[in-house]
Structure 1
Amino acid sequence: MAQTGKSSSKKSSPSYISSIIGVALVLFLLGTLGLIVIHANKLSVYFKESVEIQVILRDNVKDAQAQALKDSIAAKPYVRSIEYVSKDMAAQRFKKDFGEDFTSLLGYNPLYASINIKAKSNYVNADSLKLIENTFTRNAAVREVSYQRALVDKLNENVRRIGLVILALCVLLALVVIVLIDNTIRLAMFSNRFLIKTMQMVGATRWFIAKPFDLRGIINGGISALLAIIGLVGVLYGTNQLLPEFGGLSDYFMIGILFLGMLVLGVGICLTSTHRSVMKYLRLKLDDLY
């Protein structure tokens, strides 16, 4: 019996190795899509928060009034960053950007002072920006409010479309991952079917038989997940080396949640599939194993 057990164990080892690698590859594929989702979300937030709202002030507004207005706006929940640009600062920036000093040519500064606002991403949509614009236009100190409306509409439309595509891919890939991992584990357990049945025939209880296989499923799932996580860390490191600006978009908290989810998924599916396979072979008659 000991010889049979050792022989079976040796025969099953390659199956475990191949199943570990197979599950790791599938989890790596799922994790890659997860990283794409995380970075796509961060990228959309980055672009939305780059949209600038210019609150252009009237010529008769003094700097003190403008600063007071800026401070009151800064307290609003939609403000991510805010800056007051005086008429002189606007002229200096124009000269720096275009290399021309138009004030000496015209004899006066035709530019207006402005308060430049960058809103938080969840406020960068047509409805929210319209409400924000209306609050400013009712202020007597404000001449007009300017922002790229067409860009905001296009940005939100593209984000919506990309989100739907990624959601569909996530659902499809999640189903594929579950099926592939389940089939991989069941194939690995196929080589142990006679060992399982032999243990049952000598009087071992179902719990006694299933326990070591369940433990092996947990270990294999954990190893597969760790291999997949190491692969994804390598991908992130390589990407950050090639594209340093990519690192600024990384949400390490969400990446940590993704890695934890991969570990739980790997262990959970491997354990469930292993236990189901053991119970299946315990229910079969000996002749059905051939």
Structure 2
Amino acid sequence: MPRPNQLYVVFSLALVLFLLGLVGWWTVQATHLTRELQENLDIIVELEAGSTPEDRQALEAHLAAAPYLRPGSTPAFVGRDAALESMGEDLGNDLDDLGLSNPLLDVVTFNVPLHWLSSERLGAIATEIQGLPGVAGVYYQENFVERIAANARKLSLLLLGLAGLFTFVAGLLIHNTVRLSLYANRFTIKTQELVGATWGFISRPYLWSAIFQGLVAGLLAIGGVVGLQYWLQSVFPELNLFTAPQELLLLYAGLLLLGVMINFLSHWVVVRRYLRMRVDDLY
């Protein structure tokens, strides 16, 4: 049965890993949401008022075969009447009352992959499409793209800094916890050395225990993060918190590895410290 100080090490490490897991999970979600926002940015191609159905079909075929069309997506046609209806019935009634016709144009929208979302590439796409028959104009929110990219970089740096700070603090806390945990064994460690046991023989049981404790703490932390994810998903299903399974699996594996590494290194350093101390210094 684990001793109270060992349980204290496990739960302290699990708590720190849980907090690190929350930072990592938020990093994964923020990155995924930023990518979705960027890739769902519509490039709008307005058709001329006198364009023919053949012009529209040729434009859609050109976009469908273009290297900059986002994989898995297709160009979408929105007719001028459907666009007016989507803007609300009141607007259509107001235009009728004023005797005005529908001022909107037929449009075709499409999305591009993430690596095409730069001012230079979007400008080149717009210039290419502008030269096609029946095209009146190409529009996209250039500032919006640049803002998302800039904010994504700032957020990534902030979360990276938080993760680094948490890891540093975790190392210090767990090291002190392990030092206190092994304090009661300092005489046993030194006695084994005095009777001729090698440092490797003395350290081995403590290091194996550290690996086991790190795995248990990592599993507890992963369980806490996954439980929180499922709870938030049940409360806010629109968040789609499990849409990046590969990144989440890497996060969970990283928590396990980090738990083992922090606990192993802390035990190794503390055991070596007691082995180097003189007997008088142990009191």
Deviation at 1:203, TM superposition (A): 2.4
- Taking structure 1 as reference, are residues 170 and 76 closer, same or farther at Cα in structure 2, changes over 3 Å only? farther
CA distance in structure 1 between the aligned counterparts of 2:208 and 2:274, rounded to whole angstroms = 17
Tell which deviates more after alignment, 39-48 or 175-184: 175-184
**Unaligned stretches of 5+ residues in structure 2:** none
Deviation at 1:103, TM superposition (A): 8.1
Of 29, 54, 62, the match for 1:64: 54
Task: Tell me the matched-pair count.
Answer: 278
Of 212, 217, 228, the match for 1:219: 212
Contact 1:185 1:273 in 2 (8 A): yes
Secondary structure in structure 2 of the residue aligned to 1:133: helix
Secondary structure in structure 2 of the residue aligned to 1:54: strand
Of 85, 104, 121, the match for 2:77: 85
Deviation at 1:169, TM superposition (A): 1.7
Partner in structure 2 of residue 6 of structure 1: none
Deviation at 1:107, TM superposition (A): 8.5
Contact 1:224 1:266 in 2 (8 A): yes
Of 39, 43, 46, the match for 1:49: 39
Contact 2:210 2:267 in 1 (8 A): yes
Deviation at 1:277, TM superposition (A): 1.6
Of 187, 191, 215, the match for 2:184: 191
Counterpart residue type for residue 203 of structure 1 = G
Secondary structure in structure 2 of the residue aligned to 1:139: coil
CA distance in structure 2 between the aligned counterparts of 1:182 and 1:27, rounded to whole angstroms = 14
CA distance in structure 1 between the aligned counterparts of 2:174 and 2:121, rounded to whole angstroms = 45
Contact 1:197 1:282 in 2 (8 A): yes
CA distance in structure 2 between the aligned counterparts of 1:228 and 1:96, rounded to whole angstroms = 47
CA distance in structure 2 between the aligned counterparts of 1:83 and 1:94, rounded to whole angstroms = 20
CA distance in structure 2 between the aligned counterparts of 1:205 and 1:59, rounded to whole angstroms = 89
Tell which deviates more after alignment, 159-168 or 98-107: 98-107
Tell which deviates more after alignment, 65-74 or 218-227: 65-74
State yes or no: 1:32 paired with 2:25: no
Secondary structure in structure 2 of the residue aligned to 1:116: strand
Of 73, 80, 91, the match for 2:63: 73
Deviation at 1:158, TM superposition (A): 2.3
Partner in structure 2 of residue 14 of structure 1: 4
Counterpart residue type for residue 82 of structure 1 = T
Partner in structure 2 of residue 171 of structure 1: 164
Deviation at 1:145, TM superposition (A): 0.6
Partner in structure 2 of residue 261 of structure 1: 254
- Taking structure 1 as reference, are residues 267 and 203 closer, same or farther at Cα in structure 2, changes over 3 Å only? same
Contact 2:207 2:268 in 1 (8 A): yes
State yes or no: 1:200 paired with 2:193: yes
- Taking structure 1 as reference, are residues 123 and 104 closer, same or farther at Cα in structure 2, changes over 3 Å only? farther
Deviation at 1:27, TM superposition (A): 0.6
User: TM-score, length-normalised on structure 1?
Assistant: 0.86
Counterpart residue type for residue 34 of structure 2 = S
- Taking structure 1 as reference, are residues 258 and 103 closer, same or farther at Cα in structure 2, changes over 3 Å only? same
Contact 2:18 2:225 in 1 (8 A): yes
Counterpart residue type for residue 256 of structure 2 = L
Deviation at 1:227, TM superposition (A): 0.7
Counterpart residue type for residue 167 of structure 2 = A
Deviation at 1:113, TM superposition (A): 2.4
Contact 2:63 2:75 in 1 (8 A): no
Q: Percent identity?
A: 32
Counterpart residue type for residue 173 of structure 2 = L
**Unaligned stretches of 5+ residues in structure 1:** 1-9
CA distance in structure 2 between the aligned counterparts of 1:71 and 1:183, rounded to whole angstroms = 66
Partner in structure 1 of residue 263 of structure 2: 270
Contact 1:66 1:84 in 2 (8 A): no
- Taking structure 1 as reference, are residues 15 and 117 closer, same or farther at Cα in structure 2, changes over 3 Å only? same
Counterpart residue type for residue 85 of structure 1 = F
Deviation at 1:221, TM superposition (A): 0.5
Structure 1 runs of 4+ with >4 Å offset: 101-110
Contact 1:82 1:115 in 2 (8 A): no
Contact 2:203 2:271 in 1 (8 A): yes
